[in-house]
Structures are given as structure tokens and as C-alpha cells.
């Protein structure tokens, strides 16, 4: 049976842990509000950009030069690049674990192809460093403060590798923010760009030739897709960490309550034992 000193020390330790988890929950809640606002503001823009891209593609659908753009080249998927967006820190529940499992599942599904990984986040890099997976590159600290310039830089490198036929397909794997309690794993192919077929052509008057306009929109589409994925991942990370820290704070409170009750029982048993010893001693002297 542990002593009263051990129980008090353990309660103090759990209470200190509870203060830490509560503070982390409040910090994640504050960051989540800002990240959520950015995600909600970016979603309509991304959707509208896809609609404009589809309409421009419809305008040049009859042009044979449409398939000549490097980012539209359809090739057999013999060499793939998976862009894995994870967090730089842990303590976010199953946020990173689910991404790791999804990445391993992707590698199993495409075992016939040569798959390289581009890890955006420390957790993904550390996880696959210990495994027989080719890591083509890594970037850290992107989701801490998502910047469009970072997304544009990475998108430019991806487009360049695809245009040089170093890879035949580029996929994004990230967590999409659905709500505070739920995130959704998303695996999407961003290269080659899939232009929607049969889109309804609106009666636009283009200042530039539509095929030239499409050529300028395709690289920007890749940048926006990557930027939007980073925003979604950042918001989902803060939501997962806030939920995990809230559960940890609640569990710490329950543990403190149980330890306090157990300590009171131990103290009561100790006092009862001392009283019995005193009474027994007094009775023995009579």
C-alpha cells in the first residue's frame, strides 16, 4: 500500500500535468479560430478557381494543343511522388498516426510503381526515415504559419519535376478540417492536372487567347491546391490537439479525484489503526 507522502506526490504531479494540458488546450483553441477563418475564406476562392479553369478548358476543348501543355501530360504511373502533410509536433491524438497509416496504405496500393515521398512536417519525416521509403525532400514549419509563398515554391518544384518527366504523377495526402471533432483523410492527384470534361462554356470574351490563358492558369491551380491543403491541415491539427488536450485535462481531473479518495481512505485507516493501538495499550495497563 503506498504511503500518504507517495499519494500526495502523485496527486501533485497529476495536477501539474493537468495545468499543462489545460494551457495547451487554450492555446490550440485560439490558434484554431484563426486557422478556421483562413480555411473558410479560402474554400470559395479555390472552388471558383476550379470553375474558371473548367470553363477555360471548355473554351479550348476542340483545340489539339490542349494536351501539349506539360502539366496535362498523361503517362503511365511508373514513378510517383506522394506529398505527405503532417504536423511538426505531437500531442494531437491520432492526427499523425492516421496520416502515417494512410501513407503506408498508399505505398502498398502502388507497390508496382516507384514511389518517392515529399514530407511536409517533422512527424512524417521522422516516421518514414526509419523505414525503407525513398524521401525525395522535406520541409518543416509550414503549418505553423501557412504562407502562400511557401506553397508556390513547392508547387513550382513539383511542376518542374513533372515537366521533366522525373515523375508521372503527384499526389497530396493530408487531413481536411471538417469540424472540431472530425477530420477527413484526403488523397488527391494534382499532377497531371485533370481538366473537367464536358464543362458548360459560358459566353466569355477573353482578352488573351483561351489556350494561352489556360497555360497560365494551370501552374496557379497547382499552387492554390497545395496552399489550400496546407490551410486545411493546419486547422485540422489545431482541432485535433485541442480535442486531445481537452480529453487529457478531463482524465487528469478524474484521476485526481480517485487518488484523493484513495488517499483519504488510507489516512482514515491509518488514524483508525493508531486509535486502536492507543485503546489497546490503555486496556493492557488496567
| 8 vs 117, higher pLDDT | 117
The pLDDT tens digits for 227-265 are 999 999 999 999 999 999 999 999 999 999 998 888 888
* Per-chain mean pLDDT for the chain: 85
Residue 185 has pLDDT above 70, yes or no: yes
Q: Could you please report the per-residue DSSP string of 129-172?
A: HTTT-EEEEEE-STTTS--HHHHHHHHHHHHHHHHTTS-SEEEE
- pLDDT, residue 202, reads 59
Q: What is the pTM of this model?
A: 0.85
| pLDDT one-digit tens code per residue, 86-95 | 999 888 889 9
Does the pLDDT value for residue 277 go beyond 90?
Answer: no
Separation in Å, CA 133 to CA 119, 162, 168: 11, 20, 18
Q: What is the rounded CA–CA span in Å between residue 130 and residue 17?
A: 31
Domains of the chain: 4-15+244-281 (1.10.287), 23-241 (3.40.1380.10)
| Cα atoms in the Cβ-side hemisphere of radius 13 Å centred on 150 | 16
* Contact by Cβ (8 Å): 200, 259: no
Amino acid at each position: 500500500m503506498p504511503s500518504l507522502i507517495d499519494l500526495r506526490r502523485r496527486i501533485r504531479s497529476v495536477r501539474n500535468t493537468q495545468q499543462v494540458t489545460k494551457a495547451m488546450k487554450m492555446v490550440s483553441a485560439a490558434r484554431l479560430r484563426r486557422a478556421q477563418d483562413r480555411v473558410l475564406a479560402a474554400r470559395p476562392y479555390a472552388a471558383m478557381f476550379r470553375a474558371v479553369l473548367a470553363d477555360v478548358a471548355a473554351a479550348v476543348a476542340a483545340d489539339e494543343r490542349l494536351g501539349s501543355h506539360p502539366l496535362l501530360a498523361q503517362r503511365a504511373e511508373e514513378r510517383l511522388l506522394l506529398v505527405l502533410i503532417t504536423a511538426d509536433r505531437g500531442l494531437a491524438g491520432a492526427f499523425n498516426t492516421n496520416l502515417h497509416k494512410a501513407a503506408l496504405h498508399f505505398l502498398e496500393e502502388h507497390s508496382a510503381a516507384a514511389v518517392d515521398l515529399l514530407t511536409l512536417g517533422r512527424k512524417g519525416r521522422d516516421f518514414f526515415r526509419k523505414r525503407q521509403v525513398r524521401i525525395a525532400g522535406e520541409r518543416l514549419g509550414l503549418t505553423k504559419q501557412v504562407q502562400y509563398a511557401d506553397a508556390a515554391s513547392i508547387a513550382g518544384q513539383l511542376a518542374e519535376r513533372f515537366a521533366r518527366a522525373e515523375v508521372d504523377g503527384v499526389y497530396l495526402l493530408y487531413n481536411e478540417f471538417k469540424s472540431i471533432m472530425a477530420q477527413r483523410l484526403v488523397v488527391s492527384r494534382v499532377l497531371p492536372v485533370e481538366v473537367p470534361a464536358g464543362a458548360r462554356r459560358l459566353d466569355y470574351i477573353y482578352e488573351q487567347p483561351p489556350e494561352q490563358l489556360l497555360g497560365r492558369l494551370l501552374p496557379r491551380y497547382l499552387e492554390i491546391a497545395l496552399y489550400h491543403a496546407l490551410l486545411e491541415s493546419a486547422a485540422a491539427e489545431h482541432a485535433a490537439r485541442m480535442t486531445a488536450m481537452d480529453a487529457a485535462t478531463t482524465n487528469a481531473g478524474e484521476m485526481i479525484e480517485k487518488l484523493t479518495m484513495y488517499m483519504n481512505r488510507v489516512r482514515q485507516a491509518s488514524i483508525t489503526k493508531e486509535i486502536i493501538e492507543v485503546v489497546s495499550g490503555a486496556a493492557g495497563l488496567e
